[in-house]
Amino acid sequence: MHGLVNKSIQCFVRDTYGAATWAAVVREARLGFDSFEPMLTYDPALTEAVVAAAAHQLQRSRETLLEDMGTYLVSHPNVEALRRLLRFGGVGFVDFLHSLEDLPGRARLAVADLDLPDLELTDTGPDCFALRCRSPLRGVGHVMMGLLRAMADDYGALVLLDIQTGSGEGEGDVIAIQVLETRFAEGRRFDLAARAG
């Protein structure tokens, strides 16, 4: 698993629950080092061990943990850069949904060996979509649930989400998305070129 993915799990645990919790996760997962390097690639078993250790340390289910991580990726100030990149997806939440299929390709433009979850969006009706997520990381659909929920808040949209966890190999998780209101709340401000100064 790419170091960036591992590092984001690490930052999520550290920023949300503190350095002591991360140290406990490191010990339980028997990492042998205390921090992931973002530009190295690691054995997927390590990622699995870290997720399991974090769930155990925090006494939470794997699903809840992964969903909270998805929310963290969009809403925590330490990872604002990521939220900005996601907002490049479109001016509204529905545009953003349509941009998701391009996300792995866009990420690869920046980091050639970064394999994000494979995302496939289909229209299932007026304002209804199904997002299929496939990844070697089991339960990646829950990360996307948290991420979508936080992005809907970011755009000020009101959405209903429901996940069907994939059972078979390579089947992936499917998230049913119903957009009830695209301008439900104010949402957070976003300018394409906001970095100057």
Give min distance, CB of 183 to other proteins, in A. Answer: 18
* Sign of CA pseudo-dihedral 162, 176, 180, 80: positive
CB of 102 to other proteins, least distance (A): 4
Contact between 64 and other proteins by CB under 8 A: the answer reads no
Residue 48 CB, shortest distance to other proteins, in Å, is 18
Min dist. Cβ of residue 92 to other proteins (A): 11
Long-range Cβ contact pairs of 176-180 (< 8 A, separation 24 or more): 176/124, 176/128, 176/129, 176/130, 177/97, 177/128, 177/129, 177/130, 177/131, 177/148, 178/127, 178/128, 179/93, 179/94, 179/97, 179/127, 179/128, 179/129, 180/127
| Beta carbon of residue 105, minimum distance to other proteins (angstroms, whole number) | 4
Least CB distance to other proteins at residue 189 (A): 23
171 binds other proteins (CB under 8 A): no
- Out of 18, 19, 88, 123, point to the residue binding other proteins (CB under 8 A): 123
Among 19, 20, 39, 180, contact with other proteins (rule: CB under 8 A) = 39
Contact flag: residue 95 with other proteins (CB under 8 A): yes
Contact between residue 113 and residue 2 where contact means Cβ atoms under 8 Å apart: yes
* Closer by beta carbon to other proteins, 99 or else 164: 99
CB 92 within 8 A of CB 166: no
Using the contact rule CB under 8 A, the part of the chain among 79-87, 116-124, 151-159, 183-191 near other proteins is: 116-124
> Chain centroid to CA 70: how far?
4
Report the residue from 109, 192, 193, 196 that binds other proteins according to the rule CB under 8 A. 109
Catalog residues that contact other proteins under the rule CB under 8 A.
30, 37, 39-40, 95, 98, 101-102, 105-106, 109-112, 121-124
